Structure 1
Amino acid sequence: MDSIYVETTVIGNVAGRIHSNPDVASRQRATRSWWNIAAAQYELAISQLVIDECSDGDLAAAYERLDVLRDLTVLAITDEARALAGVLNAEGAVPPSEPRDALHIAVAAVQRVQYLVTWNFKHIANATMRSKIEQACRDAGFEPPVICSPPEIPGDTDD
């Protein structure tokens, strides 16, 4: 079974009320549909960083996000992952101002996760940075995860 590292922005779209903005609501619905299929077909994993980020903010919303995480595999944030995150930031694959984004990628790469799903197109699922991220991971001896949004990982829909 392939594994997927689920970045915090995905959890934010699974939990909570449907947003009044139609674009945001559409993303939430797409994420929730994907989530219902993916949970049965992939090993979904997070790190303590996802737990920490989901714990922030409004207490009721945080509780809903944390409830979504309840049955997911928690991957260790190792010294290797921290070092790789530093490399990603130092080489400009992820801006130095975004160490958490680099750590999400690094945990997935070090733990040999096949996919990293995110709605963060600014620093993670960014087409202009993707080759830098992949090269930095490979140069450090790790195969990078495929970075994509949830709908890019098809589920078995019996089509």
Structure 2
Amino acid sequence: MASHQKLTHDWWNQHRHRFLLYTSAFVRGEAAGGDPNAAQRRMVYLTSLPELDVPDELDQLEADLIRLFQLPPRAATDASHLGMAMLHKMDYLLTWNCAHLANATLQKDLHEYCQYHHLHFPIVCTPETLIQLQP
């Protein structure tokens, strides 16, 4: 966990300028949770980012993604993050959630789903992976 935090800080401080960054109400909601001091620090980073609108199609897409990836109820917000990235045609969805989002199985299945439904396919990856990519 500490190594993830360090990589996240490194990405934010040294690599974020290479990308156009956006946030959502879902990200802000998660960032506001947990330790109040840590939450306050996270929120400082997010306040400078434009917030994406929630498209009308998101509810149905979330339900489809939950069913497709067999996400447990506690992971419903993961479908929200993914759906927002798809509907807003984000190039990348940055996350440390490898269990439900940043993994090879999801990428393969998501790519097929997006092709079949003519939806945008975002690359879901960790900060560690994104540091290595050239946008």
Name the TM-score class by shorter chain.
Answer: 0.7 to 0.9
Structure with greater helix share of residues: 2
Q: Which residue of 2 aligns with 1:95?
A: 71
Question: Structure 1 stretches (4+) deviating beyond 4 angstroms?
Answer: none
CA distance change for structure 1 residues 84 and 137 in 2, over 3 Å: closer, same or farther? farther
CA distance change for structure 1 residues 36 and 155 in 2, over 3 Å: closer, same or farther? farther
* Consecutive unaligned residues in structure 1, runs of 5 or more: 1-23
Instruction: Give the 5 Å matches for 1:1-159.
Output: 24-91=1-68, 93-97=69-73, 98-154=75-131
* Consecutive unaligned residues in structure 2, runs of 5 or more: none
Q: Is the 2:107–2:123 contact (alpha carbons within 8 Å) kept by the matching residues of 1?
A: no
Aligned length, in residue pairs = 132
Give the structure-1-normalised TM-score.
0.74
TM-superposed deviation, 1:137: 3.0
Q: Quick one: distance in 2 between partners of 1:85 and 1:140?
A: 14
Q: Which amino acid aligns with 2:36?
A: L
TM-superposed deviation, 1:138: 3.1
Q: Quick one: distance in 1 between partners of 2:70 and 2:95?
A: 14
Structure with greater strand share of residues: 1
- Bigger Cα displacement from structure 2, 131-140 vs 25-34: 131-140
Q: Is the 1:94–1:123 contact (alpha carbons within 8 Å) kept by the matching residues of 2?
A: no
